[in-house]
Amino acid sequence: MIAGVATDTIAEDFHTTIKLQRHGWGTRYHDEVLVQGLAPHDLDSYLLQRDRWARGNLAVFTTPESPLRARELTVQQRLSYFASLAAYLAGPARALMIVVLAAVVWTGALPMHATALTLGVLWLPQIALGLLAAQALGRGFNRMAESVHFELCTAEIHLRALRCIVRPGRTTFEVTPKEGVDLGGWRAVRKLELAVLLTVALGLGLVLRAGHALGWMPFPTLPGLAAWVVPIVAVVELRRCARTLYLVGRRRQRRAEYRVSTQLDAVLAVGEHEGPVRLVDLAVSGVGFESAVPFAIGGPQLVPSIDTWTSNARG
């Protein structure tokens, strides 16, 4: 027995699973949808949820269930859990790479020196194998552009959460809101402060380097092949950063709550009148329905309470 759900961290599901397996319990994958939940509705809620997940899961490193020291787990289990936790390094690692790239664009100083042959033998195979592995493991559902977008959106909160590996601190569980509107624009973009800073640093550096190439201003010179490779890589990363901010800024979520699509036969009762309808969606505050019988515009029956209809046995 494990004396209930683990409460040492705010990632009770992840933590409890490891605790169960430490005490000899097994887990099995059940290939059937048993329940459906609601995802965050706006950017604020999404970032809140991801921050809580990151802090809670990384705090497991400070408990006896840490995959680095839970000897009761099999080697495969320890590797699996460690890989899951190491995934939180993806965003900070990309941010660090862009910081280094921006520094090279601005200063002209290379972090390392390598010949074209060395890059072709060591760097290109690593990049190619990484892309192939991501495509194979994602099985068509995790495209590279979406992965980069996710990493840039979560880089800042995951970077802050890394402290929980050694010092979780006193944190409380906050339920992720499932309602809200998101009007996008600058209000949403400015929440990704790190991504904005990286975009500005890369963009301004490239503008100054282009001015130097055209002979308009002095700027540190990049040596040899780097004079071509670094700006090209910087343009690619700048496009990714800019597109992430563009997608966040243009997103609009004006409906405050989810509507779950459905197709159910029902009977709509308004006062003494009732008639068959087809429910097309369900929400917390009401339902959407189709009816062959016309309703008067502005009548109270246009916005029925969920308590005013009863399910038909045919549904």
Structural contact between residues 176 and 70, judged by C-beta atoms closer than 8 angstroms: no
| End-of-domain residue from the set 206, 221, 250 | 250
Helix (H) or strand (E) holding 275: strand 273-283
Q: What is the band of 311 on the pLDDT scale with cuts at 50, 70, 90?
A: very low
Q: What is the band of 89 on the pLDDT scale with cuts at 50, 70, 90?
A: very high
**Domain assignment present for 143:** yes
Residues 82, 210 share a domain = yes
**Domain assignment present for 3:** no
Q: How far is CA 224 from CA 106, 108, 114, 115, 239, in A?
A: 16, 11, 11, 10, 24
- Reduced to 3 states (helix: H, G, I; strand: E, B; else coil), residue 79 is helix
| End-of-domain residue from the set 250, 276, 303 | 250
Residues 299, 202 share a domain = no
Residues 265, 246 share a domain = no
Residues 301, 167 share a domain = no
CA angle 308-313-315, nearest 5°? 85
Q: What is the pLDDT of residues 37-53, one digit of tens each?
A: 788 888 888 999 999 99
Phi, psi of 278 (to 5 degrees): -115, 115
Residues 290, 184 share a domain = no
285-312 in b/e form (b: 16+ CB < 10 A) is eebebeeeeeeeeeeebeebeeebbeee
Structural contact between residues 278 and 289, judged by C-beta atoms closer than 8 angstroms: yes
Range of the domain at 304: 260-311
**Domain assignment present for 255:** no
Token pair of 50, please? 């991801």
d(CA 192, CA 53): 18
Residues 62, 102 share a domain = yes
- The structural domain count of the chain equals 2
Q: What is the pLDDT of residues 102-121, one digit of tens each?
A: 999 999 998 888 777 888 88
Token pair of 150, please? 């996710």
d(CA 51, CA 161): 7
Token pair of 98, please? 């862009």
Lowest mean pLDDT among 1-10, 51-60, 179-188, 286-295: 286-295
**Domain assignment present for 101:** yes
**Domain assignment present for 7:** no
Q: What is the band of 1 on the pLDDT scale with cuts at 50, 70, 90?
A: low
Residue 66 predicted with pLDDT over 90: yes
More reliable by pLDDT, 315 or 143: 143
CB-facing half-sphere around the CA of 88: CA atoms within 13 A: 25
**Domain assignment present for 155:** yes
Q: What is the band of 198 on the pLDDT scale with cuts at 50, 70, 90?
A: very high
Residues 40, 110 share a domain = yes
More reliable by pLDDT, 314 or 102: 102
Q: What is the band of 258 on the pLDDT scale with cuts at 50, 70, 90?
A: confident
More reliable by pLDDT, 36 or 238: 238
Residues 300, 198 share a domain = no
**Domain assignment present for 2:** no
Residues 97, 168 share a domain = yes
